[in-house]
Structures are given as structure tokens and as C-alpha cells.
Amino acid sequence: MTDRITPEHRSWNMSRISGKNTKPEIVVRSLVHRLGLRFRLHCSALPGRPDLVFRRHNTVLFVHGCFWHRHEGCRFAYTPNTRKEFWDRKFHGNVARDATVQKLLRAAGWRVITVWECETRRPDRLAGRLSKLFKIKRF
């Protein structure tokens, strides 16, 4: 299957994808704030620049996109039909980097939590999961 848009337009589309302050990340930030948790954003002093850092709980939280970080078994983690080798290399690199970052953080004594983009579509379930992880009575 060929791409329906020009390479220039595809490049423009891809340049608009942001790594910070995405909709799923904002949903998670709002949710943990309502749970009474306070956090720092994108701490550059830590490996991988975690999306949220909870120093009091010695925990970092990553909000991963299912497509880019290959959420196993998720319908959003599909592989495009064009340029399969490119995408396989790209996705493999992302997953390997994620594993390395998590290993470094755990070795430094941090607890690592990953929230997937698809989980943000059900905030009530996500609130329950985060409440259990942080041992908070649900609101």
C-alpha cells in the first residue's frame, strides 16, 4: 500500500507530534492532582526525563503512547504498512531505550510506573489503579 500524502506533508505531520504536554499526559496529571499527589514535570536530572516525578513517594511515572512505545496487545500499537523495516527499527529502538531508562531508574532506587495512552480513555479505572499504587483512599 502506498502512502496517500506527499513525503513533505508526512514530514510536516510528524513534526507536529509533541513529546510533552500531550492530551494523555494532561489527563494523568489532572487525575493524580485530584488524588492529592504533588509532582514535578519532566525532570531533566533523571534518565529518560520522566513525565511525572513524585519525590515524596520515590516514584516516577511515564505516560507512553501505545503506538510509539509498542503497548503489547493494544489495538493502537499497529505497524504501518509502508516502510516496514524503518518502523521496525524505530519501534525496536524506542522499546530498548525505555527498558534501559527503567533499568537505570530502578538501579537508582526509583519505583517506575508506566501509564499507557489507552488507559487514559477510562479515567475511573486509571484512578483506581493509581490509588492502589500510591496507597490512597479513592476520592
pTM listed for this prediction: 0.85
Grid coordinates given for 43: 525532570
Give pLDDT, residue 1: 54
Domain ranges of the chain: 19-133
Q: CA–CA separation, 77 vs 13, rounded Å? A: 19
Instruction: Let me know: does 107 contact 55? Beta carbons within 8 Å.
Output: no
Give pLDDT, residue 117: 95
Q: Report the SS3 class of residue 51.
A: coil
Domain covering 19-133, topology? Endonuclease; Chain A (3.40.960)
Bridge partners (DSSP) listed for residue 114 = 62
Q: CA–CA separation, 85 vs 125, rounded Å? A: 36
Q: CA–CA separation, 123 vs 57, rounded Å? A: 22
Nearest to 110 by CA among 36, 38, 57, 42: 57
Give pLDDT, residue 139: 54
C-alpha distance across the termini of the chain, in Å: 49
Which phi and psi (to 5°) does residue 14 adopt?
Answer: -65, -30
Which phi and psi (to 5°) does residue 68 adopt?
Answer: -75, -30
The rounded Cα 43 to chain-centroid distance in angstroms is 15
Per-residue pLDDT of the chain (139 residues; tens, 9 = 90+): 566 888 888 778 777 776 777 899 999 999 999 999 999 999 999 999 999 999 999 999 999 999 999 999 999 999 988 889 999 999 999 999 999 999 999 999 999 999 999 999 999 999 999 999 998 876 5
